[in-house]
Amino acid sequence: MPLRTWQTTLCSFVIAGALVGAAGSATVTPALAQGPSAPADFTAIARERMPAVIAITARQRVRERETAPALPEDLPFREFFRRYFEERMDPREALGAGFVISPGGHVVTNDHVMGNAEEVQVVFGTSTRGPVRLVGRDPATDLAVLKVDPPPRMMVTAWGDSDAAEPGSWAIAIGSPFGLGGTVRVGVISAQSRDIRSGPYDDYLQTDALINRGNSGGPLFNARGEVIGVDTAIFSPIGGNVGIGFAVPSRVTRSVTDQLIRTGWVERGHIGVSLQELTPANAQALGRPNEMGVLVAAVEPGGPAARAGLRVGDIVTAFSGNPVESGRHLSRAVAAAKPGTEARITVFGDGRTKELA
């Protein structure tokens, strides 16, 4: 059968995104990489980074209701017992960790550690510090920033490149599992870009460095002692750690915490579409020669995408010159873009490819 020909047309629109140039490609000859030798142990990293890691205790009182047992009508103090079982405030305590990212005392932790805490206590080593102020939180990425009064000669962590943390590279977790402050666990990066269905922007590092209750919010270091992630969650079919832990990568953490410190909230890009993964059947029905891209299921009236002419049934194949692999991939790319700037989206619709900007 004859080859199909796809036209390329250009039009423009402004979305909440930033332009990213597409990188060129070249053919190279494979060679053995001469990487740095593995450290004999991790005592230096533990000794140097431990002072920058804190233990966090967040307390709140939770309103709970209990069902009262059947009580005889003539029971003395019947009304007292009825009120006791009807409603009471139970104390709850969340344990977590955090790490210092600025000389001014800014601390990164997990949003779920904070919850609706009425009282927060942080401990540097054996010294309790206070007061503690919540600077901002971002439930979408489970990150929060606190502000503490910095102790003298406070250690500050350094950011590493989470994108360079390849599977098999070292991962060192420091935290306070079960309240045991200053606990060091060593493992490796097991995988990158994991989606654990916890939110719209899931992009976790997976590690087998053991993470338990009290590690949440603590740093994950590389072999150079740089923070490459924030320990956040574990997967466990038995309730205990089975060596499958997840950390928010430093690439995401830096962007979010910078905004929280600067404004107290996180602003994300938005183009106004609902997405659906492209199936082989959908691709064939729409005349798409392959399954690369994501299907537009709905368009927000009056939104940036609608104003540009994006329609239901279009297939988004690239954003800012980078191929779109899935709906999750596109959502993260759009969210990371700076609101108010122009970006280019390549779409396939009506049998041809269009580039919208």
The residue to which tokens 């939110």 are assigned: 199
**Strand, coil or helix: 163:** helix
Percent of the chain with pLDDT over 90: 40
Burial class (CB in 10 A: 0-12, 13-18, 19+), 231: buried
Compute and round to an integer the Cα radius of gyration of the chain: 25
Task: Give me 54's structure tokens.
Answer: 């804190």
Q: pLDDT confidence of 24, banded at 50, 70, 90?
A: very low
Cβ(17)–Cβ(320) below 8 Å: yes
Nearest-angstrom CA–CA distance, 107 and 113: 13
pLDDT of residue 39: 72
Active site residue 208: no
Element (H, E) at 81: helix 78-86
The residue to which tokens 């609902």 are assigned: 274
Q: Is the pLDDT of residue 99 over 90?
A: yes
Report the range of poorest mean pLDDT among 89-93, 216-220, 230-234, 320-324.
89-93
pLDDT of residue 63: 58
Nearest-angstrom CA–CA distance, 150 and 130: 9
Q: Is the pLDDT of residue 98 over 90?
A: yes
* Residue that wins the pLDDT comparison between 109 and 197: 109
Active site residue 216: yes
Cβ(281)–Cβ(317) below 8 Å: no
Report the range of poorest mean pLDDT among 72-86, 193-207, 240-254, 304-318.
72-86
As a whole number, the mean pLDDT across the chain is: 81
Sign of torsion over alpha carbons 83, 84, 86, 92: positive
Task: Give me 178's structure tokens.
Answer: 């079960």
* Residue that wins the pLDDT comparison between 350 and 215: 215
Question: pTM for this one?
Answer: 0.75
Question: Active site residue: 162, 176, 190, 216, which one?
Answer: 216
pLDDT of residue 117: 86
Q: pLDDT confidence of 164, banded at 50, 70, 90?
A: very high
Question: Active site residue: 111, 138, 142, 202, which one?
Answer: 142
Cβ(110)–Cβ(142) below 8 Å: yes
Chain mean position to CA 197: 11
Question: Active site residue: 111, 112, 138, 162, which one?
Answer: 112
Strands 245-249 and 88-100: unpaired
Task: Give me 298's structure tokens.
Answer: 């709905």
User: Which structural domains are found in the chain, ordered by start?
Assistant: 8-17+269-356 (2.30.42.10), 43-48+159-263 (2.40.10.10), 52-148 (2.40.10.10)
> Which one-letter DSSP state was computed for residue 159?
B
Q: 242-280 pLDDT, tens per residue?
A: 889 999 999 999 999 999 999 999 988 888 888 888 888
Q: Is the pLDDT of residue 100 over 90?
A: yes
Task: Give me 184's structure tokens.
Answer: 């060091």
Q: pLDDT confidence of 74, banded at 50, 70, 90?
A: low
Active site residue 142: yes
